[in-house]
Structure formats: structure tokens, C-alpha cells
Amino acid sequence: MKCRNSIVEQVVRQYQGAEKYVDLCIYNPLLTSGNRVLHLTYPKASVKYQNPEEVAIEVKTNQVGQLLTFNLLIFSDVYYSRLLNNVQVQVSSVQQVDVNLTLGQESQV
């Protein structure tokens, strides 16, 4: 299912380490009332409920410097008859840097 000409009502931007699996938590009040059907436009991601108003999306991030963009579509029923919300998710992959120093150690420049 492709998302064409649909209004994006919420944009979620995340900055995560490159090439690792992450859980992105998204809060949306439309998730609470009734049985909602969730659909991701990115087939390599999975979505699950954390609590009645929050979902977690598990996805593997891209290589450093690449942007992964997909949509979380919230429908009112299993027939996809009415789109309630369109959430665009953007995940920027960044290089992680670890800095380890001993307490009291002077820098060596």
C-alpha cells in the first residue's frame, strides 16, 4: 500500500545510531478509542502497542548519513475504509562516537 496525496498530520523525527535495530515510541491519542488498524508503508518494520495511546515501531536504521522515511497509517477498521491519521516517521542515521576518559586524566593534544 502506497500513501499518495494524503495529508501528513504528524511528523516524528528520530536520530539513531547507524545500522542497528531500534524501537521508536510514538504517542497518538487516536489510538485509544475502538479497534484501530495500524499499517506501515515500510515492509521491513514492525509495529506493536506499548499501551493504549502509544505504539513502538521496530526498525533497522540505514547507513550513516541516510534518511529512512515511511508512514504509519491509522485506520478505523480492518477494511481500510477510513484513514484516521497519517504519521510520517523520519529516522536519520548518525555515527556514534564513544569517548572514554579516566577521571582526572588530562587531555593530550
User: What cell does 69 get?
Assistant: 522515511
- Position 46 scores a pLDDT of 94
Q: Does residue 82 form part of some domain?
A: yes
Does residue 28 fall inside a structural domain? yes
Q: Is 81 left (phi over 0), alpha (psi -120 to 50) or beta?
A: alpha
pLDDT in tens, the chain (109 residues): 555 556 788 888 888 888 889 999 998 888 876 778 999 999 999 999 888 888 999 999 999 889 999 999 999 888 988 888 899 999 999 887 777 777 776 766 6
State residue 6's pLDDT score: 66
Contact between 88 and 69 under an 8 Å Cβ cutoff? The reply is: yes
Neighbours of 98 (CB within 10 A): 4
Tell me which residue range forms the domain holding 64: 16-94
Asked whether residue 106 is domain-assigned, the answer is no
Question: Looking at the 3D structure of the chain, how many domains does it have?
Answer: 1
**Length of the chain (residues):** 109
Q: What angle do CA 54, 68, 74 make, to 5 degrees?
A: 35
In a domain? residue 1: no
Domain membership flag for residue 52:
yes
